[in-house]
Amino acid sequence: MSDNKFQGLLAGKTGVIFGVAHKTSIAWGIAKKLHDAGMKLAFTYQGERLLDNVKKLVDEEMPGSLLIDCDVTDDAQVEAVFTKLDAEFGKLHTVVHSVAFAKKEDLAGGFIDTSRDGFMLAHNISAYSLTVVAKYAQPLLVKNGGGSIITLTYLGGERVVKNYNVMGVAKAALDMSVRYLASDLGPQNIRVNAISAGPIKTLAARGISGFSDILSYMEDHTPMKRNVTQDEVGGTGLYLACDELSSGVTGEVIHVDAGFHAVGF
C-alpha cells in the first residue's frame, strides 16, 4: 500500500503540463505531486531535442502518459495540443504552464542593453504564451465545469534581481496576465494563479549569471534560513489544482520562497 497521504485526492482528474525539460524542472515537481494524487497527465515538449528527456522521465515514473509536441510561439500548435487532449481526455481539469526563455546574453550585465529582439522573444515565450494556452484550454476546462490554470513566476518580476533583467520584466507581465485572465475566466469557474518559487537548481537557472551566489544569499537571508525544494513547490501546485482545497483562490501570486519576499534589510 502506498504511504502517499494524498492518494486519490485527484482521482478521475486530468491535466496537462507545459514546460518539463529535466528531472530538476519545477514543472516536474508539480507533475509528480499531481500524479501521486491520482491525476492523469499529458506533457508537452518542444521538438525532438527535448523529447528524449521528457519521454525518459515519463516512462520511468508515469508510463502511458500522453506526449505532445508544442512550440508555444505558434498558436496553431497550442490549439492542436488541446484538440488532442479533447480527443484523448474529453475534458480537462488542470493546466500547468512552466514556460520561460530569454537569450543568455540578456541574463547578464545591464537591463539597459537588452536588444529589441531579446525583449520581444522573452515576452512572447515567457508571458504571452500563458494567454494563448489559457485561450485554447478554456473550452475543455468549461466542459469539466471549471478548473485550474497554474503558472510559474519569480520575485524578479516584483523586485530587481541582479542579472535577471529582461526575464524579470517578462515575469511582471506574466503576473499581471494572471490577474486579467483570472477576471476573464472566473465566471466560468476557471481559476488562474501563479507560484513564485524561490531559486532552485533547475536546468533553466543555470543560464542566469551568478545563480550560485543567489542560492547562498537566499539561504542566509530567508526567515527560514534555507532554500526551498522542488517538492515544496510541487505541494503548492497540488493545492492549487485541487478544487476541494483552493476553490476560492484565483488571481494570486503565491510565494514559495521560505519567506524571502516578506523581508527587507
Alpha carbon distance 190, 178 (integer Å): 12
Measured in whole angstroms, the distance separating CA 260 from the mean position of its chain's CA atoms is 20
Q: Cβ-count burial of 218 within 10 angstroms (0-12 exposed, 13-18 middle, 19+ buried)?
A: buried
Using the structure block, give the residue that is written with the C-alpha cell 526563455: 101
Count Cβ atoms below 10 Å from residue 74 Cβ, excluding itself.
Answer: 12
Q: Which residue is catalytic, options 164, 180, 217, 239?
A: 164
The phi and psi torsions of 256 (rounded to 5 degrees) equal -120, 80
Q: Which residue is catalytic, options 154, 180, 217, 239?
A: 154
Nearest to 256 by CA among 127, 153, 170, 180: 153
**DSSP bridge partners of 192:** 149
Using the structure block, give the residue that is written with the C-alpha cell 543568455: 104
Using the structure block, give the residue that is written with the C-alpha cell 485541487: 242
Catalytic: 154? yes
Using the structure block, give the residue that is written with the C-alpha cell 541582479: 162
List strand residue ranges (DSSP E) for the chain, in order. Answer: 14-18, 40-45, 66-69, 94-97, 147-153, 190-197, 253-256
Provide the terminal-to-terminal Cα distance of the chain, rounded to the nearest Å: 48
Alpha carbon distance 117, 15 (integer Å): 33
Catalytic: 136? no
Strand 190-197, strand 40-45: pairing = unpaired
Give me the active site residues, please: 154, 164
